[in-house]
Amino acid sequence: MPADARQVALVTGASRGIGAEIAYRLAARGIRIAAHFNSNRAAVDSVLARLPGSGHGTFAANLADTEATTRLWREVEAACSGVDILVNNAGIYLNHPPLMTSASDWLAAWQQTLATNLQGPAHLSLLATQAMAARAERHGPTFGRGRIVNISSRGAFRGEPDAPAYAASKAGLNALSQSLARALAAERIYVYCLAPGWVETDMAAAQLAGPEGAGIRAQHPLGRVTRPDELANAVVYCALDAPAAMTGGIIDVNGASYLRT
């Protein structure tokens, strides 16, 4: 049996879209999948049914709730005997343009967005790194320690005028990724971050098919937005194949729709 067939990946937000595609493509490489979902059990069960291989499972949690996130980690660890790869994919996008939002709605949007998009991944990353380091100590220096892959956004760099909390949460995720990469390099725990733009998922379908669609596609020199498989393949590369020297890297996967200098 290939060595990576024994590896386990916890993929958050795996019930649809990007997370479902990431889970599928990791499973196709022989990885056991712990597929996280928030509330849509029917959707995640459908994802589970199409994953290649065996030994996969589903796990529910609201990542904005610290206690629920802790329970999620413990359940996955108990069911899978450890986690080798953490993919922090789950996130929310709430519209709250500053000139059109009341103070109470503004604060609520910030609290909910930061709790889900930044606090949740930060908490899972802490639990993952401590568990990965502890397993390595038990198994010896040749034991593979683990990887964390975070899904950020081009919005972290260019801003999101209608959803500033989303942009801020993703900028925070970038900083978290780089901070962890520096802190954990000596432990051989590697951290990568991907920053997509628009991705062709069911969540984006209405906007891409509506009046905004032509303008969105016009942002992209490719003439189209990113496909889920393109982003998922980049995640798989970081999770399994990227060299250690890339730890801390933030990789743009936005079809040149936003270029950083």
Tell me which residues are annotated as active site: 166
Encoding tokens for residue 142?
């040749």
Query: Which residues pair with residue 226 across a beta bridge?
Result: 199
- How many C-beta neighbours within 10 Å does residue 107 have? 13
Judge contact between 47 and 24, C-beta under 8 A.
yes
Q: What is each CA distance from 186 to 111, 145, 189, in whole angstroms?
A: 34, 11, 8
Instruction: Report the 10 Å Cβ neighbour count for 214.
Output: 9
Q: Are 23 and 45 in contact (CB under 8 A)?
A: no
Per the structure block, which two tokens stand in for 64?
Answer: 């904005």
Q: Which two tokens stand for residue 229?
A: 């498989």
Q: What share of the chain is helix, strand, coil (3-state, %, to 5)?
A: 50, 15, 35
